[in-house]
Every structure is written in structure tokens, then in C-alpha cells.
């Protein structure tokens, strides 16, 4: 069977990052702060997914966004025809990580060209079988979804900002989503229920067939009508920059699904391990450095390590 193309919509960004300890950049120099790091949800997801499947990106960048970053994407079966270059500055996000390198504060968000972005799909994108609606305004996620004729699988990501700020639009989106990917805090906020098992049940009653709850270094949970699956995270010795881990997880997961073309419970379990493995590469380097050369074989090897973590053999 042929690998299906994935349409990904999300942010493309310049990130300014601050870390509690010096971390090495691409040429090995260690620093605690980095400016103008190319990031964004669509950038991370598409780099990870392209290890497995062709990707089409719908996003907007400003005149300041480097052509070399688009060249890197194009060199990896990522179609950039759907990336609009608008007159103005690229979306910008500034974050500061806490000492645990898990929690972070958003210091600044500048929408810039994103403020007036109206996604219009490039020719042929409307037939995309797999769709990843990355974390952006739910109205924009719906606008993209409206332009896709007959998607096989609609996956959406969101964040606390939209859960509290745009609950009605988000509810419409969730109703039309096959698989929702959020973290534990967001699941609690969305459902108003602290217990994750009950929160998941509540969220599944709102429309999605499947739900993934990410728990950072503690791994992730998958819920659907056929049961629950728990994937551990890989225990890494070298965690440098967690930015984009969630997006890389979604990219790796969708890449695997696009390669298989089935979305049943058993396939989802394996896809979860591929998402986990893709995310593990992301956090080992600053920005996209850990995933921009990611190959399917690298991911496969780490999937074996994750399997081994919980393998107990027969009684």
C-alpha cells in the first residue's frame, strides 16, 4: 500500500528560548539563551512526520523567515507550496524553562503575520487523507478542515489558551475530530475533571473516537472504545530543549499511521510508540536540530528500546 500524504496546519515561528543551565547549540557552544530559533508547531510536526510520509504544510511566514529553513523542509518530502509568505514579521514566541526543564513560562507571543492569516489550501491539498490540525486558533483549524473533502483521519492539538479563551469554537472542532491530542493539564481543564480516567471518558463523549493524553517525561495515554494504552517515555540522559516535543510526537504518530493506512486500536498503540520515539530525538538538541535529519530507521531503533522498557515476557 502506498504511504498517504499528511496535511499539517500550524505555526511557523521564531522562538527565543531561555534555559536554566547552559545547553550546546548546533556547533557545540553552550549558552543559556537563544534567539531567532526556527520553530513553530507545523515546523516540528512536519519534520518528524516526513521521516515516514509525504507532508503538505499550510502556514504563514513573514519576509524575515529564512529560505534555508524552507529548503531543509523541501529536502525531506515536505511540500511547502502551501506556506504563504506574507508582508510583515513571522510569528514569534518567547519561553523560559524552569529548573526541571519540563515546565516553562511564556514570556511573549507576537502573532505578527498570523494575525491576518486566512488559510487557503494549495491545489490538490483538499484531497489529503490525513490531517493534523496543529495548535492554532480553533477557527483557523475549522477553516482548514472545511476545505478538505473526505479526510480519513482528522487529528487535532490544542492548548489551555484556546480551552479557556474559545470554548465554543473549540467544542465544534472537537466534535469533528477523530483523534484529539492534549496534555494532562489540558485534559483536566477541558473536562473540569481532575481524575484522568474520568476526564478521558468525558472528552470522548464530546465526539472524538480517540484521545491521547501526553504526560511529558511520564509518557502518554491513549483512550478509545477498545481500551486504554500507556506508553512510557524513553529515559534519556541528555535532555536539552523540550520545545516542540509535543508537535514532534504528533508528527511521528501521524507519519506511522500514514504509512499503514489503518487507524484501529492495535495500530494506534504502535503509532504511539513512534510518536514517543520522534519526540525523544526532538528534546536532545536545541530547536529543530534533533529532528531535521530524522530517518525512519532512527525512529524504529528507539521504538525497540521503548518496547523493551515494558516487556515482561511470558509467565
- In the list 4, 7, 8, 15, the residue contacting ligand AMP (rule: CB under 6 A) is 15
Minimum CB–partner distance for residue 74 and ligand AMP (Å): 20
**What span, in angstroms and rounded, lies between the C-alpha atoms of 86 and 307?**
44
Minimum CB–partner distance for residue 314 and ligand AMP (Å): 38
Measured in Å, how far apart are the chain's first and last C-alpha atoms?
Answer: 37
Contact (Cβ atoms closer than 8 angstroms) between residue 134 and residue 158: no
Build a one-symbol-per-residue string for 32-71: x at contacts with ligand AMP by CB under 6 A, - elsewhere: -------xxx------------------------------
Helix (H) or strand (E) holding 110: strand 104-110
DSSP letters along 34-70, please? Answer: EEEEEE-HHHHHHHHHTTTS-EEEEEEE-TTS-HHHH
Task: Please report whether residue 90 would count as binding ligand AMP according to CB under 6 A.
Answer: no
The region that residue 311 occupies, defined by phi over 0 for left and psi between -120 and 50 for alpha, beta otherwise, is beta
Nearer to ligand AMP, 4 or 253 (CB): 253
Nearer to ligand AMP, 17 or 203 (CB): 17
Task: Please report whether residue 275 would count as binding ligand AMP according to CB under 6 A.
Answer: no
Phi/psi at 144 (5° precision): -70, -45
Task: Please report whether residue 102 would count as binding ligand AMP according to CB under 6 A.
Answer: no
Judged by CB under 6 A, which stretch of 11-19, 218-226, 261-269, 292-300 contacts ligand AMP? 11-19
Task: Please report whether residue 141 would count as binding ligand AMP according to CB under 6 A.
Answer: no
Residue pointed to by grid coordinates 510508540: 273
- In the list 46, 112, 135, 289, the residue contacting ligand AMP (rule: CB under 6 A) is 135
The DSSP 8-state label assigned to residue 295 in this structure reads: -
Sign, Cα dihedral of 190, 233, 291, 32: positive
Task: Please report whether residue 259 would count as binding ligand AMP according to CB under 6 A.
Answer: no
Task: Please report whether residue 241 would count as binding ligand AMP according to CB under 6 A.
Answer: no
In the complex, which residue's CB is closest to ligand AMP?
Answer: 39
Name the β-bridge partners of 279: none
List interacting residues with ligand AMP (CB under 6 A): 11, 13, 15, 39-41, 93, 109, 135-136, 161, 243-247
Amino acid at each position: 500500500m502506498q504511504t498517504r500524504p499528511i496535511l499539517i496546519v500550524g505555526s511557523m515561528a521564531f522562538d527565543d528560548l531561555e534555559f536554566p543551565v547552559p545547553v550546546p547549540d548546533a556547533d557545540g557552544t553552550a549558552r543559556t539563551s537563544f534567539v531567532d530559533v526556527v520553530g513553530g508547531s507545523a515546523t516540528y510536526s512536519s519534520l518528524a512526520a516526513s521521516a515516514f510520509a509525504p507532508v503538505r504544510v499550510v502556514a504563514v511566514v513573514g519576509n524575515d523567515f529564512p529560505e534555508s529553513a524552507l529548503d531543509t523542509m523541501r529536502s525531506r518530502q515536505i511540500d511547502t507550496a502551501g506556506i504563504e509568505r506574507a508582508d510583515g514579521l513571522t510569528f514569534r514566541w518567547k519561553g523560559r524553562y524552569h529548573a526541571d526543564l519540563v515546565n516553562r513560562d511564556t514570556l511573549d507571543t507576537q502573532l505578527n503575520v498570523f494575525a491576518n492569516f486566512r488559510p487557503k489550501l494549495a491545489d490538490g491539498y483538499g484531497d489529503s487523507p490525513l490531517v493534523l490540525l496543529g495548535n492554532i486558533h480553533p477557527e483557523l483549524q475549522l477553516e482548514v478542515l472545511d476545505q478538505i473533502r473526505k479526510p480519513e483521519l482528522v487529528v487535532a492539538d490544542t492548548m489551555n489558551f484556546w480551552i479557556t479563551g474559545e470554548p465554543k469554537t473549540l467544542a465544534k472542532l472537537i466534535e469533528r475530530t477523530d483523534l484529539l491530542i492534549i496534555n494532562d493539564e489540558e485534559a483536566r481543564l477541558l473536562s473540569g475533571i481532575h481524575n484522568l480516567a474520568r476526564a478521558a471518558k468525558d472528552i470522548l463523549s464530546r465526539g472524538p473516537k480517540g484521545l491521547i493524553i501526553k504526560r511529558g517525561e511520564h509518557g502518554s495515554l491513549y483512550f478509545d472504545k477498545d481500551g486504554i494504552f500507556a506508553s512510557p517515555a524513553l529515559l534519556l540522559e541528555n535532555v536539552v530543549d523540550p520545545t516542540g516535543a509535543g508537535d514532534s510526537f504528533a508528527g511521528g504518530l501521524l507519519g506511522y499511521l500514514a504509512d499503514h493506512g489503518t487507524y484501529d486500536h492495535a495500530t494506534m498503540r504502535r503509532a504511539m510508540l513512534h510518536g514517543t520515539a520522534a519526540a525523544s530525538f526532538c528534546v536532545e538538541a536545541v530547536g529543530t536540530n534533533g529532528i531535521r535529519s530524522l530517518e525512519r530507521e532512527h525512529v524504529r531503533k528507539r521504538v525497540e528500546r521503548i518496547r523493551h522498557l515494558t516487556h515482561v515476557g511470558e509467565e
